[in-house]
Amino acid sequence: MAGRRGITAEKLTALGVERLAEILVTLAEEDRDIKRRLRLELAEQDGGDELAAEIGKRLASIKKASSFIDWQKRREFEKDLDLQREMITERIAKTRPDLALDLMWRFMALAEPVINRVDDSNGVVGQIFRQAGHELGEIAAKARPEPLLLAEQTFDAVTSNHFGEYDRLIPAIMPALGTEGIDHLKARLHDALDRRPRRNGEYDHGAAAIARTLREIADGKDDVDAFIALTPLKAQQTPRGAAGIARRLLTAGRAQEAMNALQKGAPNEEAVATHDLWIDGYHGYFGHSEWEDVYIDVLDATGEPEKAQQKRWDSFEKHLLVDRLRDYLKRLPDFDDVIAEEKAMAHALTFANMMSALDFFIEWPAYDHAAKLIVQRHTEIDGNGYYMLTPAARALEGNHPLAAVLLRRAMINDTLDRAKSTRYRHAARHLAECQSLDSAISDYADLGDHAAFLTSLQDKHRRKEGFWGRVREFSGRRK
């Protein structure tokens, strides 16, 4: 709820039209974003044609510009670019979809020159264009352009998709293309694919992009056989490729064929690690999880529910996957699920990788078990895992303050032991949080109370003044 001085629509309305107009004019002189927005709003008052003309001018200006946009100017540019996209889709497309379609093609044509001159390290500019590519298809469905012309424009787009700006175009534009347009586009793509020079086994990015587009069209028409024919044999023999084909076959009611497809790309079980799921950069098991998802569904569909259940449990035991356990439990009779859940919790408490177990308990959630795990295996806490430990500590501090303190101590020790000066502020905050929970902990067991922990830090890290300065800031004793 806004305070007495809060800004609300009602309070601004009370200022009156003239006063608000004066304020906006002043703000527009100081802020280019506001000025552009107001110009577009005023242009719309004169009709869709005027707004389209104003947007067209801005697109031409962006196209003409050549200066590099660094990270300092990037946010302002992103807001401007997204405003043009929003005005085309939200305003012009509602009354003049024909104009909106033309403008959106012009907008998309800016992708290559813009991305070449902007620091898009955060990926926002690329995402704006991908969103616009999807919306282009939706606008085309409203504008109903001539199908063959639209097919030619689509062909040009997907064969020059250098930055992924058209990655979301095909599914959205197929309704506008219709049968005639889709057939023409497919013919053009197949012809382009046939004309590609053979590279003696070398990867051909252009050919792969064309084949991917044809697979998207096949998906849009629910043509599983065409999708399979367009998938390279090598890809069909990978877990991810086999899973994609099998999922489509299963959806089409062809469960046995789905099983056959899965077998072609079955993962090498020996290569799938079973415990080290917390190692940074590890992707061993999760690269195969999609294959396993489909495999379990296919087992159910081919009349082997017991085998599917066993696979769910085995997968949970090896990897502590929350979804696997949930799916397993919901298929058990009443009371059997309670016993199975207790068994699962006991297994997780002794899981080889403590951090994976903690992650499981927090996600389930099973906070009592998480607290027990932390106290019993506190020496195994990876203090560098702040992205998981911080929210876990917050979740536990209400009913399990000691566990929350141990997680924060682990992060503090990791920061100071490794002299991570950029994290001193966070470590100081964690120390203050430990202090605030001290009175809620009646028994620290043999883990040392807060005073003892603080003394150990002072003895070991006395010279880290950057950290202790932060501690004084949090305690309110600035020196």
Structure confidence at residue 434 (pLDDT):
97
479 token code pair: 């020196």
**189: pLDDT strictly greater than 50:** yes
Q: Who wins on pLDDT, 382 or 205?
A: 382
Structure confidence at residue 36 (pLDDT):
66
Nearest to 128 by CA among 76, 84, 175: 84
Q: Are 346 and 325 in contact (CB under 8 A)?
A: no
pLDDT in tens, 416-472: 999 999 999 999 999 999 999 999 999 999 999 999 999 999 999 999 999 999 999
pLDDT in tens, 104-126: 999 999 999 999 999 888 899 99
Burial 428-461 (b: 16+ CB within 10 A, else e): bbbbbbbbebeeebeeeeeeeebeebbeebeeeb
Q: Are 249 and 224 in contact (CB under 8 A)?
A: yes
**283: pLDDT strictly greater than 50:** no
Structure confidence at residue 280 (pLDDT):
35
**279: pLDDT strictly greater than 50:** no
Instruction: Give 11's pLDDT tier (boundaries 50, 70, 90).
Output: confident
**Cα 166 to Cα 100, 136, 169, distances in angstroms:** 17, 10, 5
**284: pLDDT strictly greater than 50:** no
pLDDT in tens, 334-370: 999 999 999 999 999 999 999 999 999 999 999 999 9
Q: Where are the domains of the chain?
A: 233-267+291-302, 376-475
The per-residue pLDDT of the chain, averaged, comes to 89
Quickly tell me which residue has 């023409």 as its tokens.
Answer: 184
